[in-house]
């Protein structure tokens, strides 16, 4: 990750913390942890990345793609989507796949995605702990709608952040994080099959992997 990309990410965070949700891009180790199920696939696959940011995870996915794999990259923030176009999707590793239509950039909210073919892997960088319960429910509904049976949903959250937010927040903010935590914990207990702790990230993070069926 170049200094320019890191600065771009920080500017986007300062502009809209509730949408970006992090002060620094994901580390290389966190990116590898998030794409591990896709890396272990045995056949051609369709992948959706939500909240791609400046493209650290995008690059990792692209480096693993074979000639029959497909990747849709979703980023709602216009400045970050522009940076993806310029700094990531124009690189040699992505350029041919874009020409072939195997990599697409979606500039839309995650909850608006309706793909008739579905995806084998959905990998998210969205800041769920910054969402309100209604938005979280809409995004989770989209994930379940677009994920093929047996597919894997992967995302990350910062270690201890929800607990810290519950402790420090007041009033409606505390109620929001409690509601969001309840939704996430329910899904984790029912659907999580793997969790990896990534200490070499700012801040340290969990990479979580779920199967809904």
Could you tell me which of 189, 200, 112, 125 has the C-alpha nearest to residue 157? Answer: 125
CATH code of the domain containing 83? 3.40.50.150
Question: Which range marks the domain in which residue 63 is found?
Answer: 3-210
Q: What angle do CA 75, 81, 87 make, to 5 degrees?
A: 130
Give the pLDDT band of residue 24 (cuts 50, 70, 90): low
Class of residue 157 by CB neighbours under 10 A (exposed 0-12, middle 13-18, buried 19+): middle
Q: What's the total number of domains in the chain?
A: 1
Provide the percentage of residues in the chain whose pLDDT is more than 70: 89
Alpha-carbon distance 161 to 3, whole Å?
26
Residues 120/152, Cβ–Cβ less than 8 Å:
yes
The distance from CA 130 to its chain's CA centroid, rounded to whole angstroms, is: 14
Binned at pLDDT 50, 70 and 90, residue 6 comes out as: low
* Tokens 């590898």, residue located: 32
- Rounded to two decimals, the pTM is 0.89
Q: Compute CA distances 125 → 22, 31, 58, 110, 183, whole Å.
A: 10, 10, 10, 11, 17
Residue 20 has pLDDT above 50, yes or no: no
pLDDT band at 162 (very low <50, low <70, confident <90, very high): confident
List 170's β-bridge partners, or say none. Answer: none
| Residue of 80, 75, 84 lying closest to 8 (CA atoms) | 80
pLDDT band (50, 70, 90) for residue 134: very high
């Amino acid at each position: 990750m170049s200094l320019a990309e890191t600065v771009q990410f920080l500017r986007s965070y300062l502009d809209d913390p509730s949408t970006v949700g992090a002060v620094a891009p994901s580390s290389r180790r966190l990116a590898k942890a998030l794409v591990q199920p896709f890396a272990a696939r045995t056949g051609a696959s369709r992948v959706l990345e939500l909240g791609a940011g400046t493209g650290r995870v995008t690059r990792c996915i692209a480096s693993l793609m074979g000639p029959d794999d497909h990747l849709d990259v979703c980023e709602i923030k216009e400045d970050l989507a522009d940076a993806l176009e310029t700094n990531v999707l124009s690189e040699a590793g992505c350029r041919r796949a874009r020409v072939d239509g195997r990599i697409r950039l979606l500039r839309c909210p995650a909850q608006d995605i309706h793909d008739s073919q579905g995806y084998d892997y959905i990998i998210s960088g969205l800041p769920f702990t910054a969402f309100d319960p209604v938005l979280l429910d809409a995004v989770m509904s989209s994930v379940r709608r677009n994920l093929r049976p047996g597919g894997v949903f992967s995302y990350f959250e910062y270690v201890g952040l929800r607990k810290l937010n519950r402790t420090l927040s007041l009033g409606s903010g505390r109620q929001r994080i409690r509601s969001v935590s309840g939704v996430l914990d329910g899904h984790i207990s029912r659907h999580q099959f793997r969790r990896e702790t990534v200490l070499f990230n700012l801040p340290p993070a969990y990479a979580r992997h779920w199967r809904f069926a």
